[in-house]
Amino acid sequence: MIYSPRGVEDILPSKTPLYQWVEKQAERLFQLYGFEEIRTPIFEKTELFLRTVGQETDVGKQMYTFKDKRGRSLSLRPEATASIARAYLEHKLNSKRGEWRVYYMGPMFRYERPQAHRLREFRQIGVEVIGQESPWLDVEIIEMAFQLLRKLGIASFDLHLNYLGCQKCRKRYVEELKQYFSSKVQYLCSVCQQRYQTNLLRILDCKKAQCRQVTEKAPEIITYLCPDCQEKFSRLQEGLTFMKIPFILDHQLVRGLDYYTRTIFEITSTQLGAQDAICGGGRYDDLIEELGGPSTPAIGFSLGVERLLATLNNPDTERQMRVRPLLYIATVGEEAKKVGIHLVTLGRSLGMRASLNLYSKGLSWQLKSAHRAGASWVVMVGEDEIRRGEYILRDMYSGEQKQVTESELEGIMRDLGQERKVKS
Partner RNA sequence: GUGGGCGUAGCUCAGUUGGUUAGAGCACUGGACUGUGGCUCCAGAUGUCGGGGGUUCGAAUCCCCUCGCUCACCCCA
Tell me which residues touch RNA (CB under 7 A).
3, 6, 57-59, 79, 110, 112-119, 122, 124, 191, 202, 205-208, 254-257, 266-267, 273-280, 302-304, 306-307, 332, 361-365, 367-368, 370-372, 380, 382-385, 392, 394, 396-399, 401
How far is 215 from 234, CA to CA, in rounded Å? 24
Q: Using the minimum distance from each CB to RNA, give the nearer residue, 134 or 376.
A: 376
Q: Using the minimum distance from each CB to RNA, give the nearer residue, 332 or 413.
A: 332
Q: Using the minimum distance from each CB to RNA, give the nearer residue, 95 or 170.
A: 170
Q: Using the minimum distance from each CB to RNA, give the nearer residue, 286 or 306.
A: 306
Q: Using the minimum distance from each CB to RNA, give the nearer residue, 175 or 384.
A: 384
Residue 272 Cβ vs RNA, minimum distance, rounded to whole Å = 8
Residue 196 Cβ vs RNA, minimum distance, rounded to whole Å = 13
Residue 374 Cβ vs RNA, minimum distance, rounded to whole Å = 9
Q: Using the minimum distance from each CB to RNA, give the nearer residue, 226 or 245.
A: 245
Residue 203 Cβ vs RNA, minimum distance, rounded to whole Å = 9
Residue 403 Cβ vs RNA, minimum distance, rounded to whole Å = 9
Residue 368 Cβ vs RNA, minimum distance, rounded to whole Å = 4
Q: Using the minimum distance from each CB to RNA, give the nearer residue, 206 or 240.
A: 206
- Asked whether the beta carbons of 166 and 260 are under 8 A apart, the reply is no
Q: Using the minimum distance from each CB to RNA, give the nearer residue, 133 or 306.
A: 306
Give the amino acid at 242.
F
How many C-beta neighbours within 10 Å does residue 154 have?
Answer: 21
Residue 31 Cβ vs RNA, minimum distance, rounded to whole Å = 22
Residue 125 Cβ vs RNA, minimum distance, rounded to whole Å = 9
